[in-house]
Structure 1
Amino acid sequence: MGTIGTTIKPFKATAFKAGEDFFEVTDEDVKGKWAVFFFYPADFTFVCPTELEDLGEHYDQLQKLGVEVYGVSTDTHFSHKAWHDTSERIGKLKFPFLGDQLHTLSKNFDVLREDMGLADRATFVVDPDGVIQIMEQTCEGVGRNANELVRKIRAAQYVRENPGQVCPAAWEEGSETLSPSLDLVGKI
């Protein structure tokens, strides 16, 4: 799985979110809205808290776009809570963290490092139909950029809402789009 245009597989995970009791999240909960699955290797690590903090700084903006964010690692929901309670950076985050200790999500999205039991650093944007529209995977030492993620989500939402239009490189909301046709061949 884990490829553009595929539908996410069924899953069930226990989540931690600040100020709430633990709760269950399933693939059914994701249907009908945009979602980001933000996989990272492990709690209490190095690059991960910087990425998660960056993503957290964009969470309200993503919520306004109708996007729910799920932080996912192979740690348990208990570990997510402990990290939240002991880390200044993680303690500020408002989005839910999914415990994937059985590796269901990591296997479903094909980001599990079997030899280590850890997820790769990967992001998946899923549309309201449960179809993966955007994916990004980086090596262990390279953090992601939430500004670029928000830009890509806006573009994916625009394309979904405007059939026949595509967003060129570095497209920003309000910029010109393209209408692919034979008239454009060789003119771009």
Structure 2
Amino acid sequence: MLTVGDKLPAFNVKSVVSLEKGKEFKDITQDSFKGKWQILFFWPKDFTFICPTEIAEFGKHDKDFKDRDAQILGVSTDSEFVHHAWRTHHADLKHLPFPMLADIKRELSASLGVLHKEEGVALRATFIVDPEGIIRHVSVNDLSVGRNVKEVLRTLDAFQTDELCPCNWQKGEETLTSKLQKAG
């Protein structure tokens, strides 16, 4: 599995970006959002139970991520047509503000090392990638437990301070770096 400090690998995948006829699909690469923070989150399968709760929650916080100059990219090994059908038929996914990437060849999932060994689908992995394309955070859950989107946002906030942040630090709180500067 790629980890903190590794470079996000090159990829080029179809994605669903809209339900508007003629504007549904777009190719997304590692450079599509160059210069921005990227939040890549993987889910196992469309038309399941835990996955839409996570996807919808990321959608609800899209503005919070955009305010931090970060682009959310949702990824599974389903095709762009399956993503489109799911968005069309699931009320919580109809108006998603971020692309749903179709890693149908499993190249991105495999290069990041997040394929479940028996099931062959993506684990619930989250990567925070900085504007230079360097992975700064990785978390991976087994298939049965969803992630905490607010924690992803909190972690991004901490990285963007470029300072030492203690356990449970929240945006707006004093960092350890500022405490040390005051003490020195």
TM over 0.5: yes
Shift of 1:116: 2.3
| Matched residues, number | 177
Which of these residues, 152, 170, 174, is aligned with residue 168 of structure 2?
170
Report the AA paired with residue 95 of structure 2.
Answer: K
Shift of 1:71: 0.7
* TM-score, structure 1 normalization: 0.89
Q: How does 1:51-130 map to 2 (within 5 A)?
A: 51-130=54-133
Q: Which runs of 5+ in 1 are unaligned?
A: 160-164, 184-188
Q: How does 1:6-85 map to 2 (within 5 A)?
A: 6-18=6-18, 19=20, 20-85=23-88
Report the AA paired with residue 169 of structure 1.
Answer: C
SS in structure 2 at match of 1:136: strand
* TM-score, structure 2 normalization: 0.91
Matched residues in 1 for 2:86 and 2:133: separation?
A: 29
- Asked if the contact 2:123–2:143 (Cα under 8 Å) also holds between the matched residues in 1, the reply is yes
Which aligned runs of 4 or more in structure 1 are off by greater than 6 angstroms? none
Q: CA RMSD in A?
A: 1.7
Identity percentage of aligned residues: 38
Report the AA paired with residue 74 of structure 1.
Answer: T
Matched residues in 1 for 2:55 and 2:30: separation?
A: 22
SS in structure 1 at match of 2:108: helix
Quote the residue 1:162 is aligned against: none
Q: Which runs of 5+ in 2 are unaligned?
A: none
Shift of 1:134: 1.1
- Asked if the contact 1:30–1:130 (Cα under 8 Å) also holds between the matched residues in 2, the reply is no
Shift of 1:124: 0.3
Matched residues in 1 for 2:93 and 2:100: separation?
A: 11
